[in-house]
Structure 1
Amino acid sequence: MAILFFVNYLDRVNVGIAAVKMNADLGFSATAFGLGAGLLFAGYTVFELPSNLVLRRIGARRWIAAITFGWGICATATAFIQGETSFYLLRFLLGACEAGFLPGMILYLNDWFPRYHRGRFTALFMLAVPVTVAVGTPLSTLLMDVPAAGFTGWRFMFLVEGAPAVLLAFLVLKLLPDRPETARWLPAGECDALRRTLTAESVSVVRHGRGSLRAALGDYRVYVVAMIGFGISGGLYSLTFFLPQIVAGFRADYGAELSTFHIGLITAVPSGMAAVAMWWYARKSDRAEERLRHIAVPLLPAAAALGVALYLRSPLLVMVAITITTVGAFITLPVWWQLPGLFLTGPAAAGGIGVIAALGNSSGFVAPYLTGWLKDLTGDYRLGMLVIAGFMVAAVVGTLLLGRDPAFRERPLVDVHE
C-alpha cells in the first residue's frame, strides 16, 4: 500500500519540480500552472464518491488495480503535452483515474485494523507522502538532467516516473487481499478474533454515528471533517506545488546561486523532517485514544509559520518557518483520517469517506490556483501564503466544533491493547 501511495503521490506532485523548467519551455504563467496543477483535484472531486462506492461493491483488489493502471497511463502521457490545453486535460484525467485510491485505502484500513492500532498503521501507509517529497523531489531533479533523445528533461522525468504505476497494477491483483477472510497468510483463529473486534467497534460507532449512506450525507460532521481536511491539505498542496519555485526565487531575493538539484534538496528537507515525526505522532494519538487535540495543537503554529514565512529576511529563516508548517500539517494527516471511523460504518463509511476525501482534497484545486493567481496579481507569493494560512486556521476552528460531540470523545468499548 505504501509503495502504491509513493508512486501515486509522486505522479501527482512531480509537476511542481517540473515547473522550474516546464513553465518557461511552454510559456505558462503562474496562474496557468496553478490552474493545471489544481485541475487534478477537479477530476478527483467529481469521481471520488462513485469510485469509493464501486470499490465497496467489487472489492479493493480489482478496483485498486484498475485505478493504478489508469493513473499510470495518464502520468506517462504528461511527457507529451504541448501547451495549456493538453496540460489541463491530462491533469484532470489523472485526478479522475486516481480519485478512489486514497479514500479507498482508508476504507481498506478500516476493514483491517481496530481503532486502537489504526492511527499508527495509517501513518505507516501515509509516510509515503513526506517520503515522496523528500526522496522523489531530488530524484525528479536528477531525471530532469538526464540527456534523453527526443525528450527535454522534464518530459523524460514524467515518462520514467509514470511507468511504475502500470507495472504495479498487476502486482496488486496478486498481493492485495480484499479483506481478512481472503488472506491466505492469516490463520483462521486470528481472522475470527479480528472480525469480532471490528464488529464490536462498528456497533459502538452506530450508537453515535451513521450506518446508511443517506444518513451520512445528511450528517453535519461529514462536512466539518471535510473542512478540517481542506485546511490541512491546502497548506500542503500549495507548498508542494510552489515551494520549488519559491526556493528558485532565492537567487533573485537573496543572491543565492542554486542549481536545479540544489533546489530539489532544499525542497526535500521539510518533508524529510515530517517523515521522521509522522509515525511517532500517530502512535502517540493512538495511545492517548484522542484525535481532535492532536490535530489542533500542531496545526495552529503551522498556520502561523506559513503566514510569516515569506516576510522573513533570510533563506534559512524562510525554510525554518516552512519546515514548521510542513511538519505540523503532515503529522495531523493520519490522525485526521481517523475521524470518519468514529461515526461512520458500513455503507455510510464508503460514501462518507468518499465525500470527505472529495471535499477535503478540493483544496488541491483551490489552493494552487489561488496561490498562482495571487502571485501574478501581486508579484510574489506572500499574500497567497497568508490566505492558505487562513485555511489552516479554519481547520483548527473545525476541530473545536467537533469537541463536544460524544462520538469524538468516547473510547473504544473493546480492549485490544494486547
Structure 2
Amino acid sequence: MAQQNRHDLFVISTSAVNSSDELLPTPAAQLRESRGEEDALVRKMDWRLVPFLSYLYLFNFLDRANIANARAVGFDGSLGQMERDLEMKPGQYNWALSAFFIGYILFEVPSNIALKIVSPRIWIARIMFSWGVCATCLAFVQNFAGLVAIRVLLGICEAGFFPGIMFYLSCWYTPKELTLRAGIFLAAATVAGAFGGVLAYFLAQVNLGFISSWRAIFLFEGIPSVFNCFLVLWFLPNFPQSASFLNEAERILALSRLEKEGIRLDEPEFDKKQLMSAFKEPIVCISTFIYLGVVTSTYGFTFFLPSIIAKMGYSSLSAQLFSSIPYVIACTFVCILCYTSCRLQDRSAHLISLLSLQTVGFLVLAFYRDEKAQQYVLFFTLCVIATTVYACVPISIAWMLNNTKGGTKSAASAAIMIGIGNLGGVLGPQVCK
C-alpha cells in the first residue's frame, strides 16, 4: 500500500513537472513573439515616418527642379518665355541651374551637424520655411542676376534637408531596413517630377492676367512649402527615445534594435573625433566619388527633360505633360529595385547594373538618329534613364550609411557624401548644352 502511494506520488509529481513545462514558452516561441513585436514596431514606424517624409521631399524636389518646367513654357527650341522675359542669353540658363549648388554644397555639413544639435523637428521646419520663401520669390525676379541670386539663396536654405533625412532615417531603422525606406522616400522625387509636369501643363494654359505662366509655376509650387513647416513642428518626432507615438516598451525595443547593429543614440550631441574621422573614412571617400557620378547624371537629366522632349518634335505644352511619363515609370521601378536590394541584402550588384544600363541609355540618347522611329526610341530611352538615375541614389546612400557607425559620424558622412556629390549638380547642367 505504501509502495503504491509512493508510486502515485511519483506519477503526480512527474505530471506536475510536465504541466509546468508546457506553460513555459519554448525558445522558438519566444523568438516568434520577439519577431512579432519587432515587426509590429517597424510597421508602426513606417506608417508614421515614411509617408510624411516622402510628402516633404516631394515639395523639396518640386521647388528645386520646377525651373525646368518654367523654362519649357513657350520654348522655341533654344529659349523659353522665362529666358526671353528676363533677357537671358543662350547658356545663362545652365549657370542659373549650377548657382543653386554653390550654397547647397557649402552648407551641407554645418546644416547636418545643426540638425543633430538642435533637433530634427525644429531644424527641418526651419529649412522648409526658408526654402519655401525663396522658392516663392523666384516668381518675382526681373533679370538674370536676380534669378541667380535667389537660386543661390535657395541652395543655402535647402542645404541639409536631404542628407538630414537620410541620417534621421538611420536613427530609426537598422541597416537591413534602410534601403527600402530610403527608396520609398526618394521615390517622391519621381512623383514630384510627374506632378510638376502635369501642374505646369495646366498652368501654361491658364491666363491668370496678373502673372505669366512661368511665374505662376514658381508661385503655386513655392507657397505650400512655407506652410508645411508648421506640419513638421506638429507631426515629426525627434528620435525613438522621445517619440510620443511609441509606448515605453516600444521605445526600449527601438533602441535595442539599433544597439545590436552598433548604433547608439544616447551618445553626446556632438563628437569632434567622429566628425574628423568621417573625413578620413575610406568608405565615405569612395561613396562620395560614386555619388558624384550619380548626381551628375540625375540633374543633367532632370533639368533638361522637358526641353529634350520639346526638341524631339513635341510642342512646348505637350512636352510638359509627356515629361511626367518617365517619372511615373521610374517611381514604380525605384520601389521595386530598392525592395530587391533590401531583400537580397545587396548593394554593389544593383548599383553596377543600374550604372551600366544608364550609360547605355545616355549613349543611345546622344547618338541615335533614326528619323523613322526616333521619337519612340528616344522616349523609351528617357524612361530607362529616369529609372536608373533615381534608383541609384537611395542604394548608394544606404550603402555608405550601412558602413558608418556613430551619430555625429553618420550625420557628417551623409552630409559630406551628398554635399560633395552635389558638385554633380554644377557639372550636369554644364555638360547638357
TM-score range relative to shorter protein? 0.7 to 0.9
CA contact (8 A) 1:241 1:368 kept: yes
Residue 236 of structure 1: which of 298, 304, 317 is its match? Answer: 298
Q: Kindly provide the CA deviation profile for residues 339-392 of structure 1, in whole angstroms up to 9, marking residues without a partner as x.
A: 222222221111111111101112111111232xxx3xxxxxxxxxxxxxxxxx
1:301 is aligned to 357
Match of 1:282 among 321, 338, 343: 338
1:190 match: 250
CA contact (8 A) 2:333 2:387 kept: yes
Matched position secondary structure for 1:177: coil
What is the identity, as a one-letter code, of the residue corresponding to 1:13? A
> Which of 344, 364, 379 is the equivalent residue of 1:319?
379
State the alpha-carbon separation in 1 of the partners of residues 392 and 252 from structure 2.
32
Aligned match of 1:14 in 49, 66, 75?
66
1:68 maps to a residue whose letter is: M
2:421 is the alignment partner of 1:369: no
Structure 1 residues 30 and 282, CA, compared in 2 at 3 Å: closer, same or farther?
A: farther
SS of 2:325's equivalent in the other structure is helix
Choose from 51, 60, 64 the match for 2:124.
Answer: 64
* In 2: Cα distance, 1:349 partner to 1:30 partner: 42
Offset at residue 298 of structure 1 (A): 1.5
Question: Does the CA contact (< 8 Å) of 1:211 and 1:344 recur in 2?
Answer: no
The Cα shift of 1:203 comes to 5.8
Equivalent residue for 1:356?
417
Asked if structure 1 preserves the Cα contact closer than 8 Å seen for 2:172 and 2:240, the reply is yes
Q: 1:215, CA displacement in angstroms?
A: 1.1
Q: Tell me if structure 2 keeps the 8 A contact 1:127–1:279.
A: yes
Cα separation, 2, equivalents of 1:39 and 1:95 = 8
Alignment-mate amino acid for residue 159 of structure 1: L
2:301 partner amino acid: L
Residue aligning to 2:137: 77
Task: Identify the match of residue 29 of structure 1 among 68, 76, 89.
Answer: 89
Preserved contact between residue 233 and residue 361 of structure 1 (Cα < 8 Å): yes
Work out the CA distance in 2 between the residues paired with 1:235 and 1:193. 40
1:28-78 C-alpha deviation (Å, 9 max, x unpaired):
234210110121111110110100000010110000000000000000000
How many Å apart are 1:82 and its aligned residue?
1.0
- What is aligned with 2:165? 105
Q: CA RMSD in A?
A: 1.6
Flag the 1:297–1:211 CA change in 2: closer, same or farther, 3 A.
Answer: farther
In structure 1, distance between residues paired with 2:338 and 2:330: 12
Q: Equivalent residues in 2 for 1:10-409 (5 A)?
A: 10-20=62-72, 21-202=81-262, 212-251=274-313, 256=314, 258-260=315-317, 262-312=318-368, 313=370, 314-345=374-405, 346-371=407-432, 375=433
Note if contact 1:2-1:128 (Cα within 8 Å) is conserved in structure 2.
yes
TM-score (norm 1): 0.83
Tell me the distance in 1 between the aligned counterparts of 2:258 and 2:364.
45
User: Which 4+ runs in 1 deviate beyond 3 A?
Assistant: none
Per-residue CA deviations over 1:108-149 (Å, capped at 9, x if unaligned) read 000011122111111111111111111221212312332223
Runs of at least 5 residues in structure 1 that lack an aligned partner in the other structure: 205-209, 376-418
Identity of aligned residues (%): 29
CA offset digits 1:69-107 (Å, max 9, x no partner): 000000000001111100100001001000110000001
Partner residue in 1 for 2:9: none
Mapped to 2, the partners of 1:28 and 1:248 lie a distance apart of: 19
User: Does the residue aligned with 2:303 lie in a helix, a strand or coil?
Assistant: helix
Larger radius of gyration: 2
Q: Distance in 2 between matches of 1:348 and 1:68?
A: 24
Kindly tell me the number of residue pairs found equivalent between the two proteins.
Answer: 361
Displacement, 1:239? 1.3
Alpha carbons 1:120, 1:282 under 8 Å: kept: yes
One-letter code aligned to 2:223: A
Q: Distance in 1 between matches of 2:94 and 2:83?
A: 11
Counterpart of 1:397 in structure 2 is none
| Superposed displacement of residue 320, structure 1 | 1.2
Tell me if structure 2 keeps the 8 A contact 1:116–1:289. Answer: yes
Say if 1:16 and 1:244, in contact at 8 Å, map to a contact too: yes
- The Cα of 1:259 is off from its aligned counterpart by 4.5
Contact 2:121 2:232 in 1 (8 A): yes
Contact persistence 1:41–1:364 (CA under 8 A): yes
